[in-house]
């Protein structure tokens, strides 16, 4: 039987949803982000996933709950950050965002935007143009999320991406991250 | 060895992987299984890592065969386990019954998904709770453990392996889709911090050996194949030597033994985790991933000065009867939260005998219940 | 004869579990005797043998045998045996099954055990019926024959267990009868010594149930039928298709080499432990 602190606090939590369709590597991206935040940056994190039967196509999402305190309920409900890599995901989840939540979409694939501030980046197009493959669009997006929100440190993210990337694709994935950082930097410049 | 040193670090682990690592830490020698969502990662992890320790992994032709192979391996001396989800758990019931009858140490992990039938392969549920108790035909007592976190997936799998060996019985670990697929930060115990129990072996010469000896412990020493004891094992009701019997006394002795080895050892088997119960006037009763939401709801309620605590049975079966009887004397209300239409709530009511208000909150739409839902229900019924 | 009986008795749990459940005139005892003499002739220790069975008349055999014995659920003997063999490959695992147990409810385990080529010796006693439950038609009841559940004649085709095993990947397939006991013993010996999945189908008379339902006469008459219709595979090569029309083949029907599963799994362990480069 456990004894407990009488002092009860509900720590601030930060909720992230990475959404899109099967095959876009969202569960992988969620795992990478969770490890970077949890193990390398030392915060508490719970990552869950929701997906259909399809390995390719079909809705897919990965939720992260980040907190300095204990995390009990592991799903994201009031999103601080939503990444939508498909129109369907954008339509379905943008209402779950907090009022001041951040919506990031892949502008290559999402063109009908909800009535709110949206940050669009051509993740898939950039991955295709610069790295000759759309499959690292998820990692490009992670780079942008990292640079824009500071929810995860760049160093941690680079280390985990290199560690978790399939053998032989470490460079490719690190380049994808750099592209993501770059996209965010350009945006900030423009905003200024 | 490398794996074992790593256990000291903080890791981001999935519940299914933590379960597999718990089994390895408890000395798993043999795994037989069949692919099924959402438990497949357990098999995948063990296919890769079990042979590193000299253990054997086999993918069988179905779940019926998986459970059969687990029993065969255990009788040949291996610590054996399988993992599945609802549809596979149903198929395994035939041979889980055999393992009860023949008293074969074995662990069955059920990472629950929605049912009945093929149901919801990728969505959470706790609707196999009663199946874990009464899934196969006949009279028997069962041990079922339910973790609620990644670390508990590790710990309770270790415990399941130990209880299976100690009491010569199948032990069910009831996980669920959320837990199985959830990743969180954990630090695993060092190998020397993990207590590993091995089965009780006979010391008598073979001619005196009785594979199903009746003794005051209700657990018989267990010889294994190939070591000179040459016993018989059967799923037919049998005498202490293991030969089929039709004698009334031997039949009753056998069935009493199956019951008593659990009932007489409930103090050793049953574990309940409490939170905020010291001054609680009401409690939430929840297990598995629903207990996570309950934890958060209780903290929300405590901020509003509601004196509520958490009762989380690690041991779903045997049901913590004595503990709950004790609680019925001191609590005004118990809210039972489950991801099904109400299963364990019936046990809470049965043991409570009407002394306390029992309320239930159920969600069975494939999603985990939220802390808000529990908090609002709690305000409504307290 | 007396010596032969003495050999058999050394391997029986005589003090514990007799008389047996089998009817007088049953063929299963003949097969049991042949297996015991094969084990004795091969000089295998009793502790080295694990005898595993399912449910049915023939599946009661392990209860009487002084080996490591495992009497399992209906049809699942091969799946249990797979666990025993993989956990302890040094054991000689012999599975006793029937045509209903092994080929109907256990058909899936049968083909996959053969495909896996796990080192199990399967003795399939084919009496063409479910005898223990009283004579229902089985996967091996011939077309037009009778069962209690085929009172107007069986309209299903029957399996050839040997063809099924061969097609599924078994490395050793043989057929014997309860009439040709010496041949049967030799076939069992070869099957036990074969590395990989081996099958011996035994054409086994059942005079009490199947014989009566189909008016095939006494046990002796049924065995005489075996004598008159069994043709060894060697003899068959010299016979015309015409003469072979109503006959069945006995002897070693199939014998090939393929790596045994448990031995292959030892290599998996070495690869996993990094002792062998991938």
Confidence label for A116 from pLDDT (cuts 50, 70 and 90) = confident
Contact A10 B293 (CB under 8 A): no
A42 closest CA partner among B179, B187, B19, B153 = B187
Alpha-carbon span C187 to A95, nearest angstrom: 74
Residues C260 and C196 sit within 8 Å (Cβ to Cβ) = yes
- Residue A59's pLDDT is 83
Helix (H, G, I), strand (E, B) or coil at C92: strand
Gap between the Cα atoms of B362 and B31, Å rounded: 34
Per-residue pLDDT, C278: 52
Per the CB < 8 A criterion, the answer to whether C119 and C262 are in contact is yes
**Does residue A8 surpass a pLDDT of 50?**
yes
Count Cβ atoms below 10 Å from residue B173 Cβ, excluding itself.
Answer: 26
Domains of chain C: 2-272 (3.40.50.970)
The fold of B275-381 is: Rossmann fold (3.40.50)
Place of tokens 């911090």: B193
**What share of residues in chain B are helix, strand, coil (percent, to 5)?**
40, 20, 40
CATH class of B2-193: alpha beta
Residue C87, CB-side half-sphere exposure with 13 Å CA sphere: 29
Q: Kindly report the pTM of this predicted structure.
A: 0.95
Chain B residues touching residue C39 (CB < 8 angstroms): none
Q: Return the pLDDT at A11.
A: 65
DSSP letters, C2-58, are HHHHHHHHHTB-TTTS-S-SSPTT-SHHHHHHHHHHHHHHTT--GGGEEEEE-SSSG
Choose among A133, A127, A91, A136: nearest CA to A108. Answer: A127
Confidence of residue A4 (pLDDT cuts 50, 70, 90): very low
The rounded distance, in Å, linking the Cα atoms of C96 and C199 is 10
Among candidate residues C225, C226, C233, C219, the one with its CA nearest the CA of residue C180: C226
Q: Write the CA distances from B11 to B48, B50, B147, integer angstroms.
A: 19, 20, 18
> Is residue A127 domain-resident?
yes
What's the DSSP call for residue C253?
E
- Does residue B206 contact residue B152 with C-beta atoms inside 8 Å? no
Determine the 3-state secondary structure of B125 from DSSP.
coil
Residue C4: per-residue pLDDT: 82
Q: Indicate the range of A177-191, C167-181, C202-216 predicted with least confidence.
A: A177-191
The helix/strand count (H/E) of chain B reads as: 14, 15
Residue in chain C lying closest to B55 (CA): C269
Q: With an 8 Å Cβ cutoff, are A1 and B272 in contact? A: yes
- Is C76 within 8 Å of B225 when comparing Cβ atoms? no
Interchain CB distance below 8 Å, C112 and B60:
yes
State pLDDT tens for residues C144-197: 999 999 999 999 999 999 999 999 999 999 999 999 999 999 999 999 999 999
Q: Residue by residue, what is the 3-state secondary structure of B58-118? A: EECCCHHHHHHHHHHHHHCCCCEEEEECHHHHHHHHHHHHHHHHHCCCEEEEEEECECCCC
Residue of B12, B119, B148 to mutate when probing chain A, most A C-beta within 10 A: B12
| CA atoms of B359 and C83, how far apart (whole Å) | 46
pLDDT one-digit tens code per residue, C53-78: 999 999 999 999 999 999 999 999 99
Kindly state the tokens that stand for C237: 């090569």
Evaluate whether A51 touches A60 at the Cβ level (below 8 Å). Answer: yes
d(CA C36, CA C189): 10
CB atoms within 10 A of CB C238: 8
Question: CA-CA distance, C259 to C241, in Å (whole number)?
Answer: 35
Two tokens at B107?
A: 């662990």
User: Contact B185/A48, CB-based, under 8 Å?
Assistant: no
Q: Compute the distance between CA of residue B169 and CA of residue B167 in angstroms, rounded to an integer.
A: 6
User: Could you give the C-alpha distances from A13 to A9, A76, B11, B139, B301, in angstroms and in order?
Assistant: 12, 10, 21, 48, 18
Sheet holding C49-53, edge to edge: B232-234, C68-71, C49-53, C92-98, C120-126, C198-203, C172-177, C248-255, C230-232
Q: How far apart are CA A25 and CA A15, in angstroms?
A: 19
For A13-66, write each residue's pLDDT tens digit: 999 999 999 899 999 999 999 999 999 999 999 999 988 777 677 888 999 999
Q: Which residues of A touch B272 (CB under 8 A)?
A: 1
Token pair 């409930």 is found at B266
According to the model, what pLDDT value does residue A189 have?
Answer: 75
How crowded is residue B324: how many other Cβ atoms within 10 Å of its Cβ?
22
- CB-CB neighbours of A174 under 10 Å: 18
> Residue A112 is part of a domain; what is its CATH number?
3.40.920.10
What is the rounded distance in angstroms from the CA atom of residue C50 to the CA atom of residue C95?
Answer: 8
User: For residue A136, is it within any domain?
Assistant: yes
> Quick one: DSSP state of residue B234?
E
Residue C21: both structure tokens together: 């459940």
The mean-pLDDT minimum among A2-11, A165-174, B362-371, C13-22 falls in A2-11
* Count of structural domains, chain A: 1
C181-193 and C28-41 helices cross at what angle (nearest 10)?
50
- Gap from B62 CA to chain C (nearest CA, Å): 9
User: What is the domain extent for residue A97?
Assistant: 13-191
Q: How close, in Å, is residue C166 to chain B by CA atoms?
A: 18
The answer to whether residue A161 is domain-embedded is yes
pLDDT computed for residue A192 by the predictor: 60
Q: Is A4 part of any domain?
A: no
Distance from C-alpha of B32 to C-alpha of C83, rounded to nearest angstrom: 8
Residues in chain B: 382
Touch B-C: 3+ C-beta pairs under 8 A: yes
- CA dist A105 and A20 (Å) reads 10
Task: Quote the CA–CA distance of C184 and C200 in Å, as a whole number.
Answer: 9
Q: Where in chain B is the domain with CATH 3.40.50.920?
A: 275-381
Report the phi/psi class of residue C16: left, alpha or beta, with left for phi > 0 and alpha for psi in -120 to 50: alpha
User: A53: distance to nearest CA of chain B, Å?
Assistant: 7
Annotate A86-129 with DSSP letters as a single string: SHHHHHHHGGGEEEEEEEEEETTT--S--SS--EEE-HHHHHHH
What secondary structure does DSSP assign to A148-189, as a single string?
HH-SS-HHHHHHHHHHHSPTT-HHHHHHHHHHHHHHHHHHHH
Residues of chain B neighbouring C62 (CB-CB closer than 8 A): 232
Asked if residue A8 is part of any domain, the answer here is no
Give the β-pairing of B315-317 and B143-145: antiparallel
Q: Taking Cα atoms as reference points, which of A76, A4, A63, A6 lies closest to residue A29?
A: A63
> C159-164 — which CB contacts under 8 Å span 24+ positions?
C159/C99, C159/C103, C161/C99, C161/C102, C161/C103, C161/C124, C161/C126, C161/C199, C161/C201, C162/C199, C162/C201, C162/C253, C162/C254, C164/C103, C164/C110, C164/C111
Rounded to a whole number, what is the distance in angstroms from the first to the last CA of chain B?
Answer: 52
Chain B residue with Cα closest to A45: B184
Q: Which helix (H) or strand (E) holds B360?
A: strand B357-362
Chain B contact set for C117 (CB, 8 A): none
Taking the C-alpha atoms of residue C57 and residue C218, their distance in angstroms, rounded to an integer, is 18
- Which residues of B fall within a CB distance of 8 Å from C268? 51
Distance in angstroms (rounded) separating the CA atoms of residues C100 and B180: 39
Between CA A171 and CA B306 the distance in angstroms is 54
- Lowest-confidence pick of A6-10, B58-62, C271-275: A6-10
In the predicted model, what is the mean pLDDT of chain A?
Answer: 91
Q: Which residues in chain B are classed under CATH 3.40.50.970?
A: 2-193
Average pLDDT score, chain C: 96
Whether A21 is covered by a domain: the verdict is yes
Residue B54: list chain C partners with CB under 8 A.
269, 273
Angle, to 10 degrees, between the axis of helix C107-116 and the axis of helix B63-75?
70
Q: How far is C65 from chain B (nearest CA, A)?
A: 9
Q: By a Cβ cutoff of 8 Å, what residues of chain C touch chain B?
A: 13, 16-17, 46-48, 50, 52, 62-63, 66-73, 76, 79-88, 90-91, 108-109, 112, 265, 268-269, 271-273
Q: pLDDT grade, residue C14 (50/70/90)?
A: confident
Among chain B residues, CA nearest to A8:
B299
**Is the separation of the CB atoms in A120 and A105 below 8 Å?**
yes
| CB-CB under 8 Å, C76 with B94 | yes
Token pair belonging to A104: 């990031």
> How far are the Cα atoms of A23, B14, C22 from residue A145, in angstroms, in the given order?
20, 23, 76
Strand locations in chain C, DSSP E?
A: 49-53, 68-71, 92-98, 120-126, 129-130, 136-137, 172-177, 198-203, 230-232, 248-255
For chain B, list residues with pLDDT below 70: 1-8
> pLDDT tier at C277 (50, 70, 90 boundaries)?
low
């Amino acid at each position: 039987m456990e004894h407990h602190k009488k002092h009860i606090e509900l720590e601030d939590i930060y909720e992230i949803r990475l959404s899109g369709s099967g095959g876009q590597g969202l569960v992988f991206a969620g795992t990478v982000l969770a490890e970077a935040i949890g193990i390398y940056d030392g915060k508490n994190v719970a990552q869950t996933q929701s997906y259909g039967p399809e390995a390719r196509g079909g809705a897919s999402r990965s939720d992260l709950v980040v907190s300095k305190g204990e995390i009990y309920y592991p799903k994201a409900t009031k999103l601080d950050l939503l990444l939508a890599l498909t129109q369907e995901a954008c339509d379905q989840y943008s209402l779950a965002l907090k009022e001041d939540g951040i919506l990031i979409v892949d502008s290559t694939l999402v063109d009908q935007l909800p009535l709110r501030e949206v940050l669009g980046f051509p993740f898939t197009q950039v991955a295709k143009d610069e790295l000759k493959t759309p499959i690292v669009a998820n990692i490009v997006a992670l780079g942008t999320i990292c640079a824009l929100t500071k929810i995860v440190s760049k160093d941690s993210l680079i280390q985990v991406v290199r560690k978790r990337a399939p053998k032989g694709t470490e460079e490719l994935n690190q380049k994808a991250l750099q592209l993501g950082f770059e996209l965010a930097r350009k945006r900030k410049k423009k905003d200024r | 060895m490398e794996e074992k040193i790593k256990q000291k670090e903080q890791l981001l682990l999935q519940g299914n992987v933590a379960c597999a690592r718990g089994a390895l830490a408890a000395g798993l020698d043999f795994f037989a299984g069949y692919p099924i969502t959402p438990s497949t990662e357990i098999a995948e992890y063990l296919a890769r890592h079990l042979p590193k320790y000299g253990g054997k992994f086999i993918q069988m032709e179905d779940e019926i065969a998986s459970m059969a192979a687990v029993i065969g391996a255990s009788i040949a001396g291996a610590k054996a386990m399988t993992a599945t989800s609802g549809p596979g758990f149903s198929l395994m019931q035939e041979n889980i019954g055999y393992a009860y009858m023949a008293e074969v140490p074995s662990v069955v992990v059920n990472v629950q998904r929605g049912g009945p039938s093929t149901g919801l392969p990728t969505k959470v549920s706790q609707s196999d709770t009663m199946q874990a108790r009464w899934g196969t035909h006949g009279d028997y007592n069962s041990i079922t453990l339910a973790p609620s976190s990644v670390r508990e997936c590790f710990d309770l799998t270790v415990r399941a392996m130990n209880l299976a060996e100690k009491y010569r019985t199948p032990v069910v670990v009831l996980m669920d889709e959320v837990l199985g697929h959830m990743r969180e930060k954990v630090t695993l115990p060092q190998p020397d911090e993990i207590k590993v129990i091995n089965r009780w072996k006979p010391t008598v010469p073979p001619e005196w050996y009785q594979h199903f000896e009746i003794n005051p412990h209700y657990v018989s020493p267990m010889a294994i194949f190939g070591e000179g004891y040459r016993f018989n094992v059967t799923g037919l009701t049998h005498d202490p030597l293991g030969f089929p019997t039709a004698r009334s006394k031997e039949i009753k002795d056998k069935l009493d033994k199956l019951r008593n080895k659990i009932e007489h050892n409930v103090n050793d088997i049953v574990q309940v985790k409490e939170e905020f119960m010291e001054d609680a006037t009401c409690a939430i009763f929840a297990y598995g991933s629903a207990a996570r939401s309950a934890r958060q709801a209780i903290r929300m309620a405590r901020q509003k000065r509601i004196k509520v605590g958490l009762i989380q049975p690690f041991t779903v079966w045997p049901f913590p009867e004595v503990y709950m009887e004790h609680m019925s004397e001191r609590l005004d209300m118990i809210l039972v939260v489950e991801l099904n239409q109400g299963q364990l709530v019936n046990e809470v009511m049965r043991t409570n005998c009407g002394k306390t208000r029992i309320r239930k909150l159920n969600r069975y739409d494939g999603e985990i219940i939220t802390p808000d839902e529990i908090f609002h229900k709690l305000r409504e019924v307290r | 004869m007396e010596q032969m009986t003495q050999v058999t008795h050394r391997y029986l749990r005589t003090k514990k579990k007799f008389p047996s459940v089998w009817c007088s005139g049953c063929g299963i005892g003949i097969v049991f005797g042949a297996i015991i003499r094969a084990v004795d002739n091969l000089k295998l220790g009793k502790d080295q043998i694990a005898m595993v069975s399912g449910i049915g008349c023939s599946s009661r055999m392990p209860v009487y045998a002084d080996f490591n014995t495992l009497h399992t659920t209906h049809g699942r003997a091969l799946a249990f045996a797979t666990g025993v063999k993989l956990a302890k490959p040094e054991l000689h695992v012999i599975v006793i099954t029937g045509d209903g147990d092994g080929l109907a409810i256990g058909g899936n385990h049968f083909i996959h055990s053969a495909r896996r080529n796990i080192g199990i010796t399967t003795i399939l006693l084919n009496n063409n019926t479910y005898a223990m439950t009283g004579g229902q038609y089985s996967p091996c009841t011939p077309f037009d024959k009778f069962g209690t559940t085929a009172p107007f004649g069986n309209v299903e085709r029957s399996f050839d267990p040997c063809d099924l095993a061969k097609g599924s990947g078994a490395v050793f397939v043989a057929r014997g009868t309860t009439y040709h006991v010496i041949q049967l013993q030799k076939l069992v010996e070869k099957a036990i010594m074969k590395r990989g999945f081996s099958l011996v189908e035994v054409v086994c008379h059942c005079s009490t149930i199947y014989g009566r339902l189909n008016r095939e006469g006494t046990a002796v008459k049924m065995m005489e039928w075996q004598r008159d219709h069994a043709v060894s595979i060697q003899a068959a090569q010299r016979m015309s298709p015409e003469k072979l029309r109503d006959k069945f083949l006995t002897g070693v029907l199939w014998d090939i080499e393929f790596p045994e599963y448990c031995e292959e799994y030892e290599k998996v362990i070495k690869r996993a432990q990094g002792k062998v480069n991938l």
